[in-house]
A and B are shown apart, each in its own frame.
Chain A
Amino acid sequence: QSALTQPASVSGSPGQSITISCTGTSSDVGGYDWVSWYQQDPGKVPKLIIYDVINRPSGVSNRFSGSKSGNTASLTISGLQAEDEADYYCSSYTRRSTLLFGGGTKVTVL
């Protein structure tokens, strides 16, 4: 199975909003609400920031929000801050009872 499709990089200025897309198929992203997002700082362990498409774990900033339309899920970061510079990965459950990650998106704050 191929990885979910994410843009390789997204950038924005402090205070702006950016959106990262995660495109799959009806057998994964489009077929289930088990989509999650992870933030990974360089050299660090990934951190869960969104689960079940739209939910934020406690302690995660409300500047992070998730959504889904058809086969594409999205992560929006509002009020972009320097500390948001990191790699972001989406993940989805699949029809084969497996999971898939996206290829990852590097977020740069200009």
Chain B
Amino acid sequence: QVQLVESGGGVVQPGGSLRLSCAASGFTFSTHGMYWVRQAPGKGLEWVAIITKEGGIDYYAQSVQGRFIISRDNSRNTLYLEMNSLRVEDAALYYCVRDAGTTTGTKYYMDVWGEGTTVTVSS
């Protein structure tokens, strides 16, 4: 079945770095744009980043621009999020999410979500 499984979350000090991974299975990973979306405890959803299916184009929320990098390895069916200069406000459950578009292009809506991986930023 279609599945996204995140890993790499953990506890990190402010200013530290962390790399999240998302293993995709059950679909042709290379034909879908992908997102990272986060949700702080008790708070709403926040869009973090998008990467196109080829990996050539990426965009970021202003809150993470310049600190986070989204990337993908289509040969490994894996999505990544490199997080640097982490702040207390970056603490959240990070979801790996699939864009519904395929060869017709990005559709800008999210049809498959992983269960998330938790990032805690604390000294």
Residues of A within 8 A of B (CB): 1, 3, 32, 34, 36, 38, 40, 45-48, 51-52, 57, 87, 89, 91, 93, 96-104
Contacts and interface: CB of A to CB of B under 8 A. Distances in A.
Contacts of B26: none
Contacts of B60: 98
Contacts, number: 64
Of B45, B46, B113, chain A has the most CB atoms within 10 Å of the CB of: B45
19 contacts: A34-B108, A34-B109, A40-B45, A45-B95, A45-B113, A45-B116, A46-B45, A46-B95, A48-B109, A48-B110, A51-B109, A89-B44, A91-B47, A91-B109, A91-B110, A96-B59, A97-B59, A98-B50, A101-B37
A12 B31 CA distance: 41
Interface residues of B, number: 22
B108 A101 contact: no
A99 B47 contact: yes
A51 B50 CA distance: 18
A34 B111 CA distance: 14
